[in-house]
Amino acid sequence: MADILRTALYLFISVFVILNYGLLLNGLVRKIVARAHGRVGPPIWQPWLDILKTYAKRSAISHGVMFFLGPIFRLAGGLGTYLFIPAIYGSVMFANLSFSGDLLLVMYFIFFGQLGMALGAGEGGHPNSAIAVGRGLSQMTSFELPFALSVIALAIQYHSLSITEIVAAQQGGILNWTIFTNPLATFAGLFALLGMNMHSPFDIVLAPQEVPIGPPTEMQSSFLGILQTNRAIFLSAKLVLFMNLYLGGATNIFAMMLKTFMLYMLSVVVGVSFPRFRTEQSIRFFLGVPTLLGLAAVIIFML
Amino acid sequence: MTKETKHNPSILENNGLPEFERDYFCDARPEQSRPLAKYIEKFLNWARANSLWLLGFGTGCGAVELRPLMTARYDMYRYGIAPRPTPRQSSVFIIGGYASVKTTKRIIRSYEQMQQPKFVIALGSCPINGGMYWDSYNTINRIDHYIPVDVYIAGCMPRPESIIAGFDLLKKLIKEGQAEGANKYIENLDWYKANQKKIIKDWNMPDYNW
Amino acid sequence: MSLKDILSPFYVWKRAFEKPYTTANPLTDRPGAPRYRGFHDNDMEKCIGCGTCADICQNAAIDMVPVEGIQTSKEDSGLRPKIDYGRCCWCALCVDICTTNSLNMTREYTWVDTDPDKFRILAGAQENFWTGKETGYKLGEGYKLLDHDRITMPMVDPKEGIKSFIELVKGYSKEQAIKEADRCVQCGLCIATCPAHMDIPNYIKAIREDNIPEAVRILYETNPMSATCGRICTHRCEEVCSIGVNGDPIAIRWLKRYIIDQVDRKEIAKILRNEFKPNGKKVAVIGAGPAGLSAAYYLTTVGYSVTIFETNEKAGGMVRYGIPEYRMPYEQLDKDIDAILDMGVELKTGVEIGVTESFDDIYKNYDAVFLSVGLQDSYSLSITGEHLPGVIPGIQLLDDVTKGQIPDLGKKVIVIGGGNTAMDAARTARRLAANVTILYRRREEDMPADQEEIEEAKREGVKFITRAIPVHIDLGENKKIILHWNKAEMLDQGPGKRPKPVLIVGEAYTEAVDTVISAIGQSPIYKLLPEEIGSQIKFKREKVITDKYGQTSLPKIFAGGDIVNDIADAISAIADGHRAAQGIDLYLSKQVKVK
Amino acid sequence: MKEIIQRLKQQFTISNVNQQRVDLTFLSVKKEQAVSLISYLRDFEKFSHLVFLTAVDRVEDIQFQLTYMLHNYNTHQDLGIRVLIDREKAEMASIHHLWKQAGTYQRELKEMFGIDFPGSPRVDESFILEGWDNIPPMRRDFDTKKYSEETYFPRPGRESHDPESYMKSKLYPEGDA
């Protein structure tokens, strides 16, 4: 019983930390992007204000049960992804619920939220939501391929589907990291990360000038608040996962922050520099070089 | 402004809609929202004042003056102002100058779909007293007869600096808890509806949009 | 796709290491441009409330409202523009059109408020946040919406002019008149100043629209002697013309003359088409000057039968006998008079009241009497020697010339006085081939004569000696008379008072001349009034006291013209006549003393 | 351009030919011949672009004047065809079969002037003035200022004085001429 309570407390702390870290990352990146635009940018605490304001809306309307469940599914997806990833190698508090087959579960959770969201957004009835969901799912399917190939290559390489074991295998020096031991799989995975983060050129889902904001068009007040919460958690969860898979994980919280920040900056640097792809361009891109890289990685380790 | 205490029963039955569509829309009166306990509300108002999401609906010439605000020169993001493409998520509606009857109809629909608390900034001469289009057959003369307005900015069109000044005033009002336009709208709903229905001849929309 | 295509977009990140372009505080760091069109500012002192700004405003954004502390006067309507910023579109047409250049724009452009009813402001009068701020937009150099230059009136060359009594002013052509009328902004400030309150803006508008019949109709509403007034009116209206603040005033007098020159006597009757029923009542008018003629005209139009008694051979009074022909050609005067007589007014000339006709008879036989006998006597110089032969009054000279009795003035003539009569006398003497000098006790700017009269006199070779007080007159040799005069200096009498000329000791001069003409003013003669009637009428400084309708203390007797008003010009006399006609009508239709 | 006019004259009764600029000519044609003239110009004279279709309310003559502006991309000539139609029973044959976009112009003319184009697509649907129930606003007998003042709540509290009458009331009130 005490074990369960302690685990719950640790999970709570872990989620709280990762939520605030996600918001901080958001605020920091907005500032950095603003500088690249030649602007001053919003204060670094702007994401907290926004999320507070959204939760503090005095009214909210629902379009039905699925509309209500959409954000919940999304948050469940984000939380689920994070909770099964050991955030810091060797830390009890941040080990979360990691177990031996967790990589598969995490891969499932990454996409679970998106599907839930698609259902919720559909219930809202806004045409822009439907268009964006269609775009999002198409793109998701296409970057899923290099990502899956990359993960398969890793599983073959490390003979494990446990993230903790994969991280453990990379310990003992920078050259043990997957990025050096299996660069092909790493690059395939990083390309998938670009797509997953939905920054330009892969932001067809949100596409501000086309389907104004995409799936959450009808989401407001606390519904939107949940989505904003999820966005912070899910972003960090993805980054932690990629850090664990390719960058040797982290043994303390500062290493984790540094590595995830660097990973996120990859998306940001690319995002600021390039304009948006159209849906078919995006799909063609993911099925091209990244998929080939993934395939090559798998084949090399099969041999 | 006249405040009617008795509710007019003729509105909110969605009479303007065809029979088969009436079921799709709610016809209950909207309810006023109550502020929370003093200090909590004060804290929330501070957050609201510093996170103003404005509705990206360019209703008139003023739409063109909002664009510079996003540029590096003015950078409205540093004031916590950001455009949102949907009324559901926005808290500030900027009436960008003149509003034709056709636009006014959309303004009302969009305004009602915004979630409380919501604020309105009227830009330029036209929403105040008609401006250049004071004698036009199809342009309203004063927006405050149709939706409650918190801040007016004089000009034709006001420069982006003036709009920033308008946001400053709005922030002050929000922090002082005076920007209760949404409640005012619901309180005087019959009056606003009567005014709206006077000019919008084909009322083929629900009486109130949630 | 080359590697360069992939790498070059990352170049954008160099900006992240530069200083941001953002203006730190846009509200203070970016003032309006030097010619920015911000909120209005109005100079309360310069503004005359003509309302042209309100007229030109396409958005009906400007109201003319009274302002506390600003008095309505003849030059100032007392109204000031109040601008509705719920209407203004900052086009600045009001600034461009402003007749006085009092309206400008500041560089302030930010005004936010929660109360939409506040966006109305009396620029310049109400204290607000831009009071005293730097001026932005104002009328640019060399750029104007208003036409400040009067169309030059074609004139006879002065050298030719002094050879005969030919009319000097030639009159506008149609093109010129329309162009001149086009300069008018229709503010209507002039109406208050005109003694007859003529509807000036509307007859100018009729000229612009080339609608002469309408213009004539407007003229006759308030003035039945437009051919006369179009020539010799003292045109006080032009002094308050809003265009005159920064440019030449509209040539209102010449435009009036233009209208009446376009029609002949028969057409006037046709245009006026007065249809009235005779009401059987009779009114006597004594004196066929402008006041009498005007009263007769307006009384006739409402059905009275009017008889005018005139001592002279012809009607016209001082306009005929006191104004030389080069200014007031007789056929033009006749046109006015004939048009009035065409209405059915009876004119008896050569009647001398008290000699050929008894005042008592008239008083008994008529329902009302209008007295407009004018000023026939000259003020005396009150110096020794003024009764010597060769010293003649100015009006007598003018009267004689009109009647064809050309006097011998000799070679050298001195005219004493600075009024219009002095100018007329001097210029008439010039036409009789004399060398003329005008002697005036004050400075030239103090002269009561019209500026253009003075200028024309100078152009015709009349010499001016100012600050010269005649002391006495001697008889010299060869029928010459010697005028002794002394230089004077102007002594300040304190603020608001006219400076007084005082002799300078030791600066005495003498001049030997052939004729001295005194033209320092005229006074009335009331000897036609019988004792018992004269004693019942109240006077003050030789002028008859009347109420605003010209009624004297004796209800049946009305008076007007120079014997009543102090301005003593034709247009005032015409206005008096019109008012008296209204008074007589009120008196006779209600049989009450009007007050 | 002269040759085109010559050719037109052989088939149609055209009048008031007025060449305003080198590349801009106007001509008038009878209502009955207008559509076939325009059709001919499009198909045989290469005036393939309908620049605009607009109307002028000649209320004094109880007529509407329609102007079809056509453009020839080969010679860059503009040709305006003026057609007078009766104002009381304002009706004109549609040209939406020649240019699809003419339907939009015709919808607008129906709404703003009340000129009917039978057969034109969606011509009876409201276009900009949703639910307009007055006389068409572009007709000159419609008083837009009066309508605006009656309908759109001009802000109260304004009053203005005319300098002329104000001075009269202050300086020479009542009774004086």
Tens digits of residue pLDDT in B165-202: 999 999 999 999 999 999 999 999 999 999 999 999 88
CB of D121 less than 8 A from some CB of B: no
Give kind and range of the element (H or E) at residue C405. Answer: none
Q: What average pLDDT does range B124-153 have in this prediction? A: 93
* pLDDT(D67) > 90: yes
B6 falls within a domain: no
Phi-psi region of A111 (alpha: psi -120 to 50; beta: other; left: phi over 0): alpha
B24 falls within a domain: no
Nearest CA in chain C to B126: C86
D and A interact (at least 3 Cβ pairs within 8 A): no
In chain A, residues 159-218 whose CB comes closer than 8 Å to chain C:
none
Q: What average pLDDT does range B47-73 have in this prediction? A: 90
Cα gap C420→C302, rounded to integer Å: 35
Nearest CA in chain D to B196: D152
Kindly report, residue by residue over A87-103, the tens digit of the pLDDT: 888 888 888 888 777 88
Which of C9, C15, C21 lies at the smallest CB-CB distance from A274? Answer: C9
- Give the gap in angstroms from C-alpha C15 to the nearest C-alpha of chain A: 5
What pLDDT shows up at residue C592?
Answer: 54
Number of structural domains in chain D: 1
Task: Give the type of residue at C32.
Answer: G
CA distances (Å), B47 to each of A21, A47, B35, C207, in order?
Answer: 20, 11, 14, 69
Nearest CA in chain A to B77: A42
- Give the gap in angstroms from C-alpha C27 to the nearest C-alpha of chain A: 16
Cα gap C357→C366, rounded to integer Å: 13
CB of A36 less than 8 A from some CB of B: no
Which among A205-214, B29-38, D37-46 has the top mean pLDDT?
Answer: D37-46
Neighbours of chain C (3+ CB pairs under 8 A): A, B, D
In chain C, residues 21-80 whose CB comes closer than 8 Å to chain A:
21-22
Give the domain CATH number at B131: 3.40.50.12280
Residues of A in contact with B80 (CB under 8 A): 42-43, 46, 49
Q: Do D166 and C74 touch (CB under 8 A)?
A: no
Q: Percent of chain D scored above 90 by pLDDT?
A: 78
Q: Do B173 and C21 touch (CB under 8 A)?
A: no
Q: Which H, E and C letters describe C339-390, residue by residue?
A: HHHCCCCEEECCCCECCCECHHHHHHHCCEEEECCCCCEECCCCCCCCCCCC
What's the domain range around A129?
A: 2-302
What pLDDT shows up at residue B73?
Answer: 92
CA distances (Å), A276 to each of A143, A188, C16, C229, in order?
Answer: 16, 20, 21, 83
Tell me, rounded to whole angstroms, the distance of Cα C91 from its chain centroid.
Answer: 35
Cα gap C388→C66, rounded to integer Å: 60
Between vectors from CA A233 to CA A231 and to CA A235, what angle results, nearest 5°?
A: 65
CB of C12 less than 8 A from some CB of A: yes
* pLDDT(A240) > 80: yes
B108 falls within a domain: yes
* pLDDT(D177) > 70: no
* pLDDT(B4) > 60: no
Is the omega angle on the peptide bond into residue A201 within 30 degrees of 0, that is, cis?
Answer: yes
Using DSSP, state whether B121 is helix, strand or coil.
Answer: strand
Q: Do C77 and D166 touch (CB under 8 A)?
A: yes
What's the domain range around B98?
A: 56-199
Which of A30, A58, A213 lies at the smallest CB-CB distance from B116? Answer: A58
Residues of B in contact with D148 (CB under 8 A): 130, 134-137, 139, 141
What pLDDT shows up at residue C50?
Answer: 92
With cut-offs at 50, 70 and 90, classify the pLDDT of residue B11: low
Cα gap B75→B52, rounded to integer Å: 14
Kindly report, residue by residue over A24-54, the tens digit of the pLDDT: 999 999 999 999 999 999 999 999 999 999 9
Residues of D in contact with B198 (CB under 8 A): 151
CB of A287 less than 8 A from some CB of B: no
Residues of B in contact with A40 (CB under 8 A): 75, 78
Kindly report, residue by residue over A163-222, the tens digit of the pLDDT: 999 999 999 888 999 999 999 999 999 999 999 888 888 888 887 777 777 788 888 889
Cα gap C588→C585, rounded to integer Å: 5
Global ipTM: 0.85
Range in A127-131, B141-145, C200-204, D28-32 with the lowest mean pLDDT: A127-131
Residues of B in contact with D126 (CB under 8 A): 202
Q: For chain C, give percent helix, strand, coil, nearest 5.
A: 35, 20, 45
Cα gap C373→C363, rounded to integer Å: 15
DSSP single-letter state for residue C162: T
CB of C27 less than 8 A from some CB of B: yes
What pLDDT shows up at residue C594?
Answer: 46
Residues of B in contact with A216 (CB under 8 A): 89
Q: Do C197 and D172 touch (CB under 8 A)?
A: yes
What's the domain range around D53?
A: 2-155
Residue C404 tokens read as 């064809």
Neighbours of chain A (3+ CB pairs under 8 A): B, C
Residue A227 tokens read as 């989505």
CB of B209 less than 8 A from some CB of D: no
Q: Which H, E and C letters describe A201-223, residue by residue?
A: CCCCCCCCCCCCCCHHHHCCHHH
Q: Which long-range contacts (CB under 8 A, 24 or more apart) does B22-31 make?
A: B25/B206, B25/B209, B26/B206, B26/B208, B26/B210, B27/B206, B27/B207, B27/B208, B29/B186, B29/B189, B29/B208, B30/B112, B30/B186, B30/B189, B30/B208, B30/B210, B31/B186
Q: Do B102 and D145 touch (CB under 8 A)?
A: no
- Give the gap in angstroms from C-alpha D137 to the nearest C-alpha of chain B: 7
What pLDDT shows up at residue C595?
Answer: 45
Q: What average pLDDT does range A79-84 have in this prediction? A: 90
Number of structural domains in chain B: 1
Number of structural domains in chain A: 1
* pLDDT(B1) > 60: no
**Mutation site for A-interface testing, chosen from C5, C12, C14 by largest number of A Cβ within 10 Å:** C12
Give residue ranges of B with CB < 8 Å to any C CB. 72-75, 78, 122, 125, 128-132, 134-135, 142, 144, 149-156, 158-162, 164-166, 168-169, 173
Which of D155, D162, D176 lies at the smallest CB-CB distance from C86? Answer: D155
Neighbours of chain B (3+ CB pairs under 8 A): A, C, D
What pLDDT shows up at residue A54?
Answer: 94
**Mutation site for B-interface testing, chosen from A55, A57, A63, A211 by largest number of B Cβ within 10 Å:** A57
With cut-offs at 50, 70 and 90, classify the pLDDT of residue A124: confident
Positions of chain C with pLDDT lower than 70, given as ranges: 591-595
Nearest CA in chain D to C48: D163
Beta carbons within 8 Å of C164's beta carbon, 6+ residues apart: C326, C431
DSSP single-letter state for residue B139: B
Cα gap C65→C51, rounded to integer Å: 10
D165 falls within a domain: no
Cα gap A225→C461, rounded to integer Å: 97
What pLDDT shows up at residue D175?
Answer: 54
Domains of chain C: 27-122 (3.30.70.3270), 158-270 (1.10.1060.10), 274-376+553-590 (3.50.50.60), 378-521 (3.50.50.60)
Cα gap A48→B196, rounded to integer Å: 38
CB of D148 less than 8 A from some CB of B: yes
Residue D32 tokens read as 């009955």
A134 CB-contact burial (10 Å; exposed 0-12 / middle 13-18 / buried 19+): middle
Cα gap B6→A295, rounded to integer Å: 73
What pLDDT shows up at residue C591?
Answer: 60
String of b and e for C499-514 (b: at least 16 CB within 10 Å)? eebebeeeeeeebebb
- DSSP string of C238-288, one letter each residue: GGS-GGGGTSPPP-HHHHHHHHHHTS-HHHHHHHH-------S-EEEEE--
What pLDDT shows up at residue B3?
Answer: 42
Kindly report, residue by residue over C314-323, the tens digit of the pLDDT: 999 999 999 9
D50 falls within a domain: yes
Nearest CA in chain C to A38: C20
Q: Are A294 and A188 in contact (CB under 8 A)?
A: yes
CB of C494 less than 8 A from some CB of A: no
The residue ranges of DSSP E strands in C150-200, in sequence order, are none
